[in-house]
Structure 1
Amino acid sequence: MATAIKKDDPSIAMHAALEKQRADFHSALPESLAVRKDRIDRAIAMLVDNADGFAKAVSEDFGHRSEEQTLMTDIVPSISALKHAKKHMAYWARGDKRKPTFPLGLLGAKAEVSYQPKGVVGVIAPWNFPVGMVMVPMAGILAAGNRAMIKPSEFTERVSALFEEQVPKYFADTEMTVFTGAAEVGMAFSSLPFDHMIFTGATGVGRHIMRAAADNLVPVTLELGGKSPTIIGRTADKKKAADRIALGKMMNAGQICLAPDYLYVAKEQEAEMIGEISGSVSTMYPTLLDNDDYTSIVNGRNHERLQSYLDDAREKGAELIEVNPAGEDFSSTNGHKMPLTIVRNANDDMKVMQEEIFGPILPVMTYSAIEEAIDYVNDHDRPLGLYYFGNDKVEEERVLSRTISGGTTVNDVIFHNAMEDLPFGGIGPSGMGHYHGVDGFREFSHQRAVYHQSKMDVAGLAGFKPPYGDKTWATIKRELKK
């Protein structure tokens, strides 16, 4: 196996790696299913062999994150996605038979769609799930027969270093390579002429990625974020809803692109809902500072950003409810842990309702009629996720049919992302393109149209050949009929 690439000038090294991968890709075409399965097996082996190492690296990068959480949210989902792809890829790769336009099928013509690997795929991963956001999409990338170049986040340096150390032990550099470094490395990476690129991260950065990709006409998959609403119907089981919202909001300290970003609840049920959420959080996290189950904010910069959102909301009239079950003094610690803060009387003048929160802050808004919540969602950027709680099927259908989001979970949050047979992706400012399962296989494949002409002179029979005459007009008149 190859050793890690040493990079004095990252742009030169990255271009060289890309050309090396592309040359090897072309010489190896067609990529057999056996080769693809072998790569998937090696990806699984890398994760299994280094599960503890990745968990420790994530915790060190965050200041603290439990080993259990990293195993549950990064390692296990990645292995599951890779195993799912390995099991189903032969079926996905068969291609699709299509019907030739009448009457060509009667004359012996055939049509089909074949799935070809695109070539070299660039993967730009975020810091919040620094292993999973590399390896879950890798299932579709490898199953489709592609090579991969990876740029992990500079905010999770230890995880990035571990990837850089371990990938060469399991993959030749013609199959998979890793480039680490700060923003300038990321900019150079995003400007490479890949055959496809996937970026997971903030919407603002996604715009820069798309501009860079445009110079080389690189197709992109953008998995962004936004403000995922949680709408609580009047018929919802408030205790159950609170437990599930608290779990989704407090996991990774809210540093999840699909975390419930804000709550919309009936005005007369607001106090009850806030009380239930506070109680659920207190049950799961009776203490926070020394609680191994609770994650730290990733760094000081993000901690300050979140605190500024709270200061802004307070100055603009919000009521801040800190859920701090043990009454701990967070100001006396050098760490970056934060308790959940529920923001009542939130409005669009506040930063908490303008920016993706990505932390343990939960704004609450109220409605008199459910249509107010629907209209609010539709008046803002389309979110990555939308969550509805309630037992009124008519209302549920109204919420789902009259809003548009990347994905939806009913009577829970986030779980649609855990379904490997469902496409995961955003729409508009929350992203473009999908992966997971067959959708990931197709996202990273070229759908090639293949047409086999019959032995007959179809063009002549249809009057397509000059000189035009009676046959030509017979075809035209037939097609112009209503």
Structure 2
Amino acid sequence: MTKPAEMAVRAGDKVSSESRTLEELLDIQKAAFLRDGIPDARTRIDRINRLGQMLLDHSDELTAALTADFGTRPADLSVAADIAGCMIDIAHQRRSAEKWMQEVTVNKLQGLVGFKQRLRRDPLGVVGIMGPWNFPLQLTIVPAASAFAAGNRVLIRPSSVTAKTTDVIARVAPDYFSIEELAVITSKHGGGSDFAKLKVDHMFFTGSPEVGSSVAQEAAKNLVPVTLELGGKNPVVVDKSYDIAKAATSIADSRMVNGGQVCLCPDYVFVPEDKVGEFTDKVMARWTKNFPTIVDNDDYTSTINEKNYNRIVDLIDDAVNLGATKHQLKPAGEELPNAGARKIPPTILTGATPGMKIEDDEVFGPVLTVYPYRDLSEAIDKINSAGHPLTLYWFGEDNDNLKTVADNTRSGSISGNDFGLHMLSSKLPFGGVGRSGMGNYHGEFGFNTFSHARAVTVSKLPMSFAENMVPPFGKREKRATSIQMKLWRFLNGRAMKKSAKKR
């Protein structure tokens, strides 16, 4: 039976999370969860609504903070991805939470003879969410909405790299939430490793595989389950029959979303051998059109910080020093790469070979590596040698070649002919596999991630299962066992014969 929790922001209760320690905030939320019990649909929807309203009420301030954190970042991108982009899943959670939380009767026929079976999806309790810096609102707020829909309390830790954006959220959150419901964790509470040590009921992390590994190790010490949304070098395969100009235009745009600082950006491309030159020219032409200037262009997103700027420049230099060819867009009169503005020119690398750092490292910047291929097997072998990516891009028809690639590779998702459209669907999961992550969210997948599927059985059967499982084992029990074994041998033998006929 679910019930309403106390309404969140009471008079005189606008307490900042920074007034309490990490451990105090966790204890407060755990105590509130136990005190109020499982929240009803009205309470959950109210929390989701307030989460969305917090973003909408402060959209201008948040957009300005995002620009300040990056150096330059298009305001339209921040609104579309980090504010409006959150509302898609928030709306779906709000619309569906009441349906998803309902207890479901299963195996109704068995219930008629006395074996009743039900499935509950109960909240876990307190969820910890660690957000990244590249989309610090969307990738923190969206999982928080899912956690609210599932009936949980939430501790969020937005990235300390985007400190100005985190400061805004931490300051305004008390106007919308009691710290019993949502607490914003900042650098004043300690580092990310401190947050990872918390004995929450579920830890959700978005970021790099390296940091994700350490988060999982810390969580494992407390037997805290984790969802890891990580990165991965996302490959692109352009089918031989596909229009190379269309592919080049879309891939050029996809690489430059948020300055290439997106876990879904394409990282390297396989192009039919005889079309590599044309593809490279078309990509460079698209970038030239989109970015007539770079250094003083407010629509050209800066690399987030000096550390990442130097890392990406080093990847390019290392590849060139080892024999790769670089193709860079450098508008006349501009000094690029530009350390002061933290801007790296859009770059294509050809001729990359094993041993170059860019062969192994996720770029997370405006660099695209292009490989020629004669047969799909070459692309498939290369993809499989690089670890499972978050997504795999396919430019071509929905044909047998796509099926071949899908059947012989592993990735979190497959995106055909456009940039990450599965992010927009409330019916599809978002998540990785292997090195690109574990678990998923969005829509009902997010609700399930933050819920416990709880079995309930009630027996009115004339026999006792427990009685049949303990001594003494008499003739009746032995006869029952013999009948079971004969039945299963018959059924399994029939299944094997049926399977053999289909070969």
TM-score (norm 1): 0.95
Look up the match of 2:407: 401
Give me the whole-angstrom Cα distance separating, in 1, the residues matched to 2:470 and 2:335.
Answer: 85
SS in 1 for 2:415: strand
Please give the secondary structure, in 2, of the residue aligned with 1:6.
helix
| CA deviation profile, 1:313-340 (whole Å, cap 9, x unmatched) | 0111000000235563235672112211
Greater mean deviation of Cα atoms: 408-417 or 13-22: 408-417
Q: Which moved more, 1:429-438 or 1:91-100?
A: 91-100
Q: What residue in structure 2 maps to residue 165 of structure 1? A: 171
Partner residue in 2 for 1:473: 478
Residue 85 of structure 1: which of 87, 93, 117 is its match? Answer: 93
Pick from 109, 117, 122 the counterpart of residue 111 of structure 1: 117
The one-character-per-residue Cα deviations of 1:258-304 (angstroms, maximum 9, x if unpaired) are 10011111111111111111122222222222323221111111111
1:356 corresponding residue in structure 2: 362
Matched, 1:143 2:155: no
- Which residue in 2 is equivalent to 1:281? 287
Shift of 1:159: 0.6
Contact 1:62 1:298 (C-alpha < 8 Å) held by counterparts: yes
| Residue 353 (structure 1) shift | 1.4
Deviation at 1:206, TM superposition (A): 0.5
Question: Which amino acid is the alignment partner of residue 57 of structure 1?
Answer: A
Question: What is the count of residue pairs matched by the alignment?
Answer: 475
* CA-CA distance at 1:79 after TM superposition: 1.3
CA distance in 2, matches of 1:216, 1:464: 34
**Structure 1 pair 238/151, CA: closer, same or farther in 2 (3 Å)?**
same
Q: Given residue 96 of structure 2, which amino acid in structure 1 is its aligned partner?
A: H
Q: Distance in 2 between matches of 1:178 and 1:236?
A: 48
Alignment correspondent of 1:191: 197
Q: Does 1:242 align with 2:254?
A: no
User: For residue 344 of structure 2, what is the amino acid of its counterpart?
Assistant: M
Distance 1:226-1:182 versus aligned 2 partners, 3 A rule? farther
CA RMSD in angstroms comes to: 1.8
Match of residue 378 from structure 2 = 372
Whether 1:200 aligns to 2:206 is yes
Structure 2: distance between partners of 1:233 and 1:326: 35
Q: Write the distance in 1 (CA, Å) between the matches of 2:481 and 2:233.
A: 52
Maintained 8 Å contact 1:464/1:472: no
8 Å CA contact retained: 2:150, 2:448:
yes
Structure 2: distance between partners of 1:333 and 1:374: 37
Q: Is the CA contact (8 Å cut-off) linking 2:431 and 2:439 kept in structure 1? A: yes
- Shifted more, 329-338 versus 31-40: the winner is 329-338
1:208-260 Cα shifts (integer Å, max 9, x gaps): 00010011000000000010101111111212212211221101000001100
- Give the match's secondary structure for 1:335: coil
Equivalent AA in structure 2 for residue 468 of structure 1? F
CA distance in 1, matches of 2:253, 2:189: 33
Structure 1 SS opposite 2:465: helix
* Deviations 1:404-454 (CA, angstroms, capped at 9, x unpaired): 100110112322222222100001111001000000000000111111112
Aligned positions of 1:95-134 closer than 5 A? 95-99=103-107, 105=111, 107-134=113-140
Q: Does 1:180 align with 2:186?
A: yes
Deviations 1:4-48 (CA, angstroms, capped at 9, x unpaired) = 1336xxxx8111110110110111112101000000110011011
State the partner residue of 2:494: none
Structure 1 window deviating more from structure 2 (226-235 vs 281-290): it is 281-290
Q: Aligned with 1:330: secondary structure?
A: coil
Q: Out of 57, 75, 93, which is 2:65 matched to?
A: 57
Q: Which string of whole-angstrom CA distances, capped at 9 and with x for unpartnered residues, describes residues 83-134 of structure 1?
A: 110111122112443328xx95452111122100101111111100011111
TM-score between both structures, scaled by the size of structure 2: 0.91
SS of residue matched to 1:155 = coil
Closer, same or farther: CA 453–217 of 1 in aligned 2, 3 Å: same
> Gapped runs of 5+ residues in structure 1?
none
Amino acid in structure 1 at the alignment position of 2:481: I
Amino acid at match of 1:311: D
Among all aligned residue pairs of Structure 1 and Structure 2, give the percentage whose two residues are the same amino acid: 37
1:296 to 302, 306, 313: 302
